[in-house]
Amino acid sequence: MSCAEPRLVLLGRQGAGKGTQSNRLADHFGVMHVSTGDMFRTQAAQGTAFGLEAKRYMDAGDLVPDEIVVGVIEESMVPGGPLGGGFVLDGFPRTLHQARELDRVIAGFPLHLVIDLDVPREIVFDRIAGRRVCENCQRVYHVNLPPTHNWACDTCSGRVRQRDDDTEEAVERRLELYERETVPIVEYYRERGLLTLVDGVGEGDEVFERLVKVCLEQFS
């Protein structure tokens, strides 16, 4: 299949590197990076009623209710934006209901590929505990690989800090929800012939190369 504007979904446990890798993939293919988690965090930082409501769920490690998330995706998937121009979806869908709703919302612009970025549960714990994120542009760092100057983001100088929902209890809860709510989606996409599994263990650049390779195999 030849494809100038890919439409991709990246699935994976919290801490699998979905955020970083989907950002890089979107840049690489010149399409939009659509992250529901980033949208909620931006709204929460702005203090909107909607953002503060989403934050309550996020900080507890719970999923934001489907009707809210689907509404957000529906608003962002406009024909002049990601729908016509291609996208990398990061963090959506997370439930079977969301996967079915996505099919409805993007009707006429079907997905090209769904990647399951696979990192075992034990490894993601360590990654999440050390994760630090720019609160402005969402660039991801690690305590072992911080920004150059005093926790100011190398890209935008924003403050780099630990996410409020990266506490141990919240992470436990998110991983449990992932097994229960999101793993069934893997089957949903496998049955439709869209799923590819990519090993997410290793250096960021190495994982990125694997991702680009499977995309190119699919698109050319």
Residue closer to ligand AMP by CB (options 128, 198) is 128
Q: How many CB atoms lie within 10 A of CB 168?
A: 11
Q: How many CB atoms lie within 10 A of CB 38?
A: 17
Assigned token pair, 218 = 């699919």
The binder of ligand AMP chosen from 5, 42, 51, 57 (CB under 6 A): 57
Site string for ligand AMP, 119-138 (x = CB under 6 A): --------------------
- Give least dist CB 88 to ligand AMP, A: 13
Counted residue by residue, the chain has a size of 220
Greatest alpha-carbon pair distance for the chain in Å reads 48
Assigned token pair, 90 = 């990061």
- Give least dist CB 170 to ligand AMP, A: 8
Sort 203 into a burial class: Cβ within 10 Å, 0-12 / 13-18 / 19+. Answer: exposed
The binder of ligand AMP chosen from 40, 87, 178, 189 (CB under 6 A): 40
Q: Is 18 designated active site?
A: yes
Q: Is 174 designated active site?
A: yes
Residue closer to ligand AMP by CB (options 38, 154) is 38
Q: Do 49 and 40 form a contact (C-beta atoms < 8 A)?
A: no
- Give least dist CB 145 to ligand AMP, A: 19
The window from 57-65, 75-83, 113-121, 141-149 that contacts ligand AMP (CB under 6 A) reads: 57-65
Find the DSSP H helices in 30-141.
36-46, 49-60, 66-76, 84-85, 96-105, 121-130
- Site residues for ligand AMP per CB under 6 A: 14, 36-37, 40, 57-58, 62-64, 69, 91-92, 94, 98, 165, 174
Q: Which residues are catalytic?
A: 18, 94, 131, 163, 174
